[in-house]
Structure 1
């Protein structure tokens, strides 16, 4: 009974009407009047507070004011910092390559190259040898090797092309090779395991002919180089170059990721194609 009386009293207080009147101070003329209750004041105040909080949140989230809040960094600044990091890494690689090239030129010009191991007389002696004096019959090991090579070539679906040596191929990524090139299982690439977001670099200068997302292999970028050489980079976490862009050897083009349906962890699926045929990248690039 006591509890019921308290509820009624509370309800009466909440719903009891009050009149708010605004008067003219000189004439006491009533200008505006409102009928209010404590419940109305409470609900109205709560809604105003919620609306103010929502408006402030939207104002901070979608206007430049957020950059003035400590600890709330700008997305554009983060992206710019990431791009600068990639460019710095690319410039360091190009600088190291340039320094090695200049050092080689300096050695050639200054004559610092060791030539003591070269015996000029050996060339002359080889010319003097008579073929009839040399035993050219194949040894047993040589015959076995020739038979194995012939057997492999018999079932080889692709003719392995060669380069003329004018293209210097860089390592796209330093890491552990988890799966080798295996055409028998239609794995025309090597998989290189590395830490996520590690920069992926172009193996040679060329043009980006594809830079998009695919469902099976995630973010993919494909470069076309001289001598009908094409390099393919799959399962990237992000791409830094767009289709049609010109890239230089050693320049960052993507980051290591784990995207696409056909991936089991952060790695780079790297393919190398010559004249429309896949080749083993380890035959042309030193991954050690």
Structure 2
């Protein structure tokens, strides 16, 4: 994939660590309550696809115990450190590389498919990796369903935040992201033959982690946002507003969808 068509938020940048920490605070409790709901237990074999950070693999390792296994894969595994012995870390391109050997009780991916132009084919591959009776859990954003940084747009600071968020969404779309993908997950999992398909949506209306994530994201994309028409003064004002602690920013809606393989 050409660089200009690749993942917008390069995990090799320093800001990636800040983003991972903020997303873990925001989303890990939500993710884990759904993984617990389907019954992740001692001895399970789990594949965490596009893992990024260590939080979910570590939590899965605790649940499957020494008799289970967690495979955590990503194109960039540099953040997947200090994990227990029942976690295997591997570099893996889910688009091009062969599937891992064996079949899994759980295959989970969060905020991955939305960024892949060939997301439909990847979803089919993930279904193939699930053993009969196992579960696929896909969590992806739907920025068009909840497009605003500040839903309560009551003043100039909120207007600015939403304008910068629109510029960010445009950059995502230019890189091939499907900004309405999250809402399609129930249909896609049913079409893939999964049963007991259900889904829920989540977005935290405000929290310090939301502001941290927003600040790390816009710093990461400074050059791209400035090229898209955000001025230096607007950029600096937005960061100052976030640092002030009173700007209520949120994330795109996260759709969590799960289904069982017959």
TM-score, with length taken from structure 2 = 0.21
Q: Computing the radius of gyration over CA atoms, which structure comes out larger, 1 or 2?
A: 1
TM-score, with length taken from structure 1 = 0.19
Bigger strand fraction: 1
